[in-house]
Amino acid sequence: MSGLAEILDENTALRRELASRDTLIGQQGEQLHAQGEQLRVQGEQLRVQGEQLRVQGEQLRVQGEQLAEKDDLIEELRVKLEVLESKATRFEEALTFIEKKRELAKAERFIADKNQPPLFDDKELQLPPRDPTSEAAEEGEATDQRRKSRAEGGHPRKGRRKLDAENLGLPVTTVHAPAGDVPGEVLGTKSTVSYRVEYTPGKLHVVKTVREQKTSADGATWTAPEPFLLPRAMCGDGLLAQVVIDKFVDHLPLNRQAKRLARRGLSFGTNVLSGWVRQGFEQVRPLVRAISQQVVMDQLILSDDTGHPVQDGGDGKLRKGRLWVVTDQRQAFYAFSDDKKGCHPLNILRDLGFEGGTLIADGGNEYDPAEGQLGLTRGGCWSHFRRYFRDAAVLDERAKLILPTFKDLFMIERELAELDPEQRLAARQERSAPLVDGVYAFIRQIGPQVRPGGLLAKACGYGISQDSRMRLFLTDGRVPLHNNLSELLLRQGVVGRKNYLFSRSSGGAVAAAGWYTLVQSAKLQGLNVGEYLYDVFKRLPSWPSNRVGELTPLNWRRAVEAGTLVPIPWGGFLM
């Protein structure tokens, strides 16, 4: 029994131990469950925190992008600020330049101030050389220009100018002015004579043309042509010539001419006068073409361009046309284009057959296509070059250092004007070449010292970019130092533009270019424009088309001087 009791006791002990373990396991399970719940809660908290971190990260990313955008905006604003500051500096310089330039003489000729102290103490700055002859002449000129005032015993003011009536070639009308009654006894009588020029408005008259008609045996009728340039027009050649002169020489717009004619009782409107000008150009177009062909014969031309607005739209807006001039210094040819593209001078010169010649122009790139495609040798303009430094001298005193050398170059050219090309070239190589070398040595020396973008920097940059072109006159005695003549010829169009403002069509602008060709070529030949126009107007209707080149201003003058052509007097007819 004892064994059974032991087994029962052992079983009871095991049961107690199992119960104790079950209790412990239950407690541990509860603990594990509680821990699991805590872990679940912690996991949820971590998930929430992770979501919060994700949201915060997204916010930080957005803030980072916003900061990057702000940085880009700040950089953009910084660049804009630099641009605005640069523009403000340029505008300030431009305003100062304008204010100072208004106080200076408009002439580009430089006159040095002998009393001015040295501009700089830098002994290392090598000044451009001077021409000894020109410098001595400048000294004498400065001495001659010193005038004493009347208070200092200088020359008194000259008396009243007397009119040389006998040599004027004008008819003289005598007017007697009686002294009238005088009080008391008249002791003597004498006369005093004076002259003055009087004006009688230009005379207009009507020309009655009676044209003979003949009838042949076969019934055909032959009628003599009218001896005038414009068929079926109401103007004679003299009136047409006067309209052209008033418009293209004296720059009087057609509407003012129409008003002037209206005061004389002639109601020719502006459109009528414009029609005469257009029709007249069509009649002289072959003559204009002949002038253009003669201009390029010597293979050396000068060229430039200026604005010539055109108003040919219904909205009244202006197109920025261009007026081009090509001259051989004896005659001039004008052409019109709608804009300033480089294809226009290329087409103009190609149409004239100008290839492989020498072109003198400023540094504009509009002539580059013509230079490259036509194989031209291109020379520069020293007046244009000098203008850069003259403008720079308004704000920067260093630019004045080079101006006396520019003056010497122009003085030398004035002395060499009457020499033949070979003699002129030899003198240039002896006297002008050292000055040109000095000019370029100076601008290469001073160039790195000046502020980029300033007027002096632009002047130096322009000179360096045009080096070979500026030296062309040192290798060819025919090449002029400057392009002033073409600029002077374009000034006629500029003055005209200030009066009549614009052309009303491209066709009108082309006609204007043709008339400028005719009248300016006549002026270059020293002709009386009215007498020349009247003569050729009378000759052209019956003149052989293959001999029209004989009527260009150059050949017309030569024929008159040789006595082979007698000008038709104004008002006369070709018999």
Share of the chain above pLDDT 90, in %: 44
Note the pLDDT tens digit of each residue in 364-401: 899 999 999 999 999 999 999 999 999 888 888 888 89
Residue 326 predicted with pLDDT over 90: yes
Bigger pLDDT: 408 vs 65? 408
Helix, strand, coil shares, percent, the chain, to 5: 60, 5, 35
CA distances from 452 to 76, 124, 275 (A): 23, 22, 54
**408 contact partners, CB below 8 Å, separation of at least 6:** 130, 131, 134, 135, 435
> What value does the mean pLDDT take over residues 545-559?
96
pLDDT at 424: 95
Note the pLDDT tens digit of each residue in 64-100: 888 888 888 888 888 888 787 777 777 776 676 666 6
Phi, psi at residue 178, to the nearest 5°?
-70, 150
Count of CA atoms in the C-beta half-sphere (13 A) of 152? 5
Q: CA 38 to CA 572: how far, in whole Å?
A: 129
Q: Are 369 and 342 in contact (CB under 8 A)?
A: yes
| 337: β partners | 322
In this structure, the strands spanning 322-327 and 332-337 are antiparallel
Domain ranges of the chain: 1-105, 238-307+324-337+486-575
Neighbouring C-beta atoms of residue 149, cutoff 10 Å: 8
Q: Which amino acid is at 556?
A: W
Residue 221 predicted with pLDDT over 90: no
Neighbouring C-beta atoms of residue 462, cutoff 10 Å: 19
User: In the predicted model, what is the mean pLDDT of the chain?
Assistant: 84
Q: Does the CA dihedral 235-240-246-247 come out positive or negative?
A: positive
Task: Please give the DSSP secondary-structure letter assigned to residue 425.
Answer: H
Q: Are 471 and 436 in contact (CB under 8 A)?
A: yes
Matching residue, tokens 């008033």? 246
pLDDT at 151: 44
Phi, psi at residue 260, to the nearest 5°?
-65, -40
- Comparing CA positions, the residue from 309, 295, 300 lying closest to residue 361 is 300
Matching residue, tokens 């500026």? 470
pLDDT at 158: 56
Q: CA 389 to CA 455: how far, in whole Å?
A: 8
Q: CA 508 to CA 448: how far, in whole Å?
A: 50
> What value does the mean pLDDT take over residues 539-545?
92
Share of the chain above pLDDT 70, in %: 87
User: No. of H helices and E strands in the chain?
Assistant: 17, 7
Bigger pLDDT: 453 vs 92? 453
b/e string for 319-336 if b means 16 or more Cβ within 10 A? Answer: bebbbbbbbbbbbbbbbb
Neighbouring C-beta atoms of residue 357, cutoff 10 Å: 18
Matching residue, tokens 């008259």? 205
Q: Are 573 and 538 in contact (CB under 8 A)?
A: yes
Note the pLDDT tens digit of each residue in 497-541: 888 878 888 888 999 999 999 999 999 999 999 999 999 999 999
Note the pLDDT tens digit of each residue in 222-261: 777 788 899 888 899 999 999 999 999 999 999 999 999 9
pLDDT at 379: 95
Matching residue, tokens 């004076």? 194
pLDDT at 76: 83
H or E, element range at 472: none
pLDDT at 314: 64
In terms of phi and psi (left: phi > 0; alpha: psi -120 to 50; beta: otherwise), the region of 168 is alpha
pLDDT at 147: 47
Note the pLDDT tens digit of each residue in 270-313: 999 999 999 999 999 999 999 999 999 989 999 999 998 888 76
Res. 121 pLDDT band, cuts 50 70 90: very low
pLDDT at 56: 87
State the helix-helix crossing angle for 132-145 and 403-415, rounded to 10 degrees.
100
Residue 428 predicted with pLDDT over 70: yes
Res. 138 pLDDT band, cuts 50 70 90: low
Res. 120 pLDDT band, cuts 50 70 90: very low
Bigger pLDDT: 35 vs 337? 337
How much is the pTM? Answer: 0.75
Q: Are 268 and 258 in contact (CB under 8 A)?
A: yes
pLDDT at 146: 47
Identify the burial level of 521 via C-beta atoms within 10 angstroms of its C-beta, where 0-12 means exposed, 13-18 middle and 19 or more buried: buried
Torsion of Cα atoms, 347 then 353 then 359 then 362, to 10°: -20
Res. 189 pLDDT band, cuts 50 70 90: confident
Bigger pLDDT: 106 vs 164? 164
Phi, psi at residue 116, to the nearest 5°?
-75, 130
Phi, psi at residue 503, to the nearest 5°?
-95, 150
Q: Are 243 and 276 in contact (CB under 8 A)?
A: yes
pLDDT at 104: 59
Q: CA 470 to CA 459: how far, in whole Å?
A: 14
Q: CA 333 to CA 448: how far, in whole Å?
A: 42
Task: Please give the DSSP secondary-structure letter assigned to residue 157.
Answer: P
Tokens for 41, please give them.
């809660």
Q: Give the end-to-end CA distance of the chain in Å, rounded to a whole number.
A: 182
> What value does the mean pLDDT take over residues 166-176?
77
Residue 563 predicted with pLDDT over 90: yes
Neighbouring C-beta atoms of residue 382, cutoff 10 Å: 24
